[in-house]
Amino acid sequence: MIRIVLADDHAIVRTGFRALIEEESDMSIVAECDSADTARVATSEHAPDVLVFDIAMPGGGLSLVPELRASAPELRLLCLSMHDQEPYISEALRRGVHGYVTKGAATDELVAAVRVVCNGDVYLSSDLQRPKPSGPVLERLSDREREVFLLVARGARAKQVAATLGISDKTVYLHRATVYAKLGVRNELDLHRIALEHGLL
């Protein structure tokens, strides 16, 4: 049985998602919460397998992520959000969520997302996915571009990349722009997704 804590400050949203989950014979919602504080308490008391949470609930859903990754490393964190654009997605991934599902896609994908994250994989809802670049990814990049690619894909900021590699911020931006062009992507989320898809994270 997959045990789930559902945290969203809108009761009607929780009701809808509860109905979806309760149709599954191997899933159970053990607690509902309406804030980051109550979610923190519920995860401590119930030790669920998955916390499904809204990033915009009172107290800030994302603020829970580093804390719970440290205190409950086995807990899988599945983010729900009305936001389908940067910087929300990259920030959630950088903090360590295991899945990100937009509320527009959640009706069709929430159950699948719970299963995927419980199996140890990362889930991004279908409306966030873009075509994969063809061909071996790293072969298109120079050695320095590969280093920049991997650091950015892991969530490092430009200044962190510059400090790690011993280069200037300006050089980081130039390498990053070249990586974007070579891989046909538009932002850091795309780099993170490519790295995940190719087993680089």
CATH number of the domain within which 41 lies:
3.40.50.2300
Lowest mean pLDDT among 36-45, 70-79, 128-137, 153-162: 128-137
For the chain, percent of residues with pLDDT exceeding 90? 35
Distance set, CA 196 to CA 22, 71, 100, 122 (Å): 30, 24, 14, 8
CA distance 79 to 97: 7
Number of domains in the chain: 2
Q: Assess whether 6 and 83 both reside in one domain.
A: yes
Q: Assess whether 34 and 116 both reside in one domain.
A: yes
For the chain, percent of residues with pLDDT exceeding 70? 94
Q: Assess whether 119 and 142 both reside in one domain.
A: no
* pLDDT computed for residue 72 by the predictor: 93
CA distance 78 to 55: 10
Rounded mean pLDDT of 118-147? 76
Q: Assess whether 69 and 162 both reside in one domain.
A: no
* pLDDT computed for residue 129 by the predictor: 63
Q: Is residue 69 part of a domain?
A: yes
Band of the pLDDT at 73, cuts 50, 70, 90?
very high
* Domain coverage including residue 148: 138-197
In the predicted model, is pLDDT for residue 56 greater than 80? yes
Q: Assess whether 108 and 156 both reside in one domain.
A: no
Out of 128, 148, 167, a domain closes at 128
Out of 107, 128, 149, a domain closes at 128
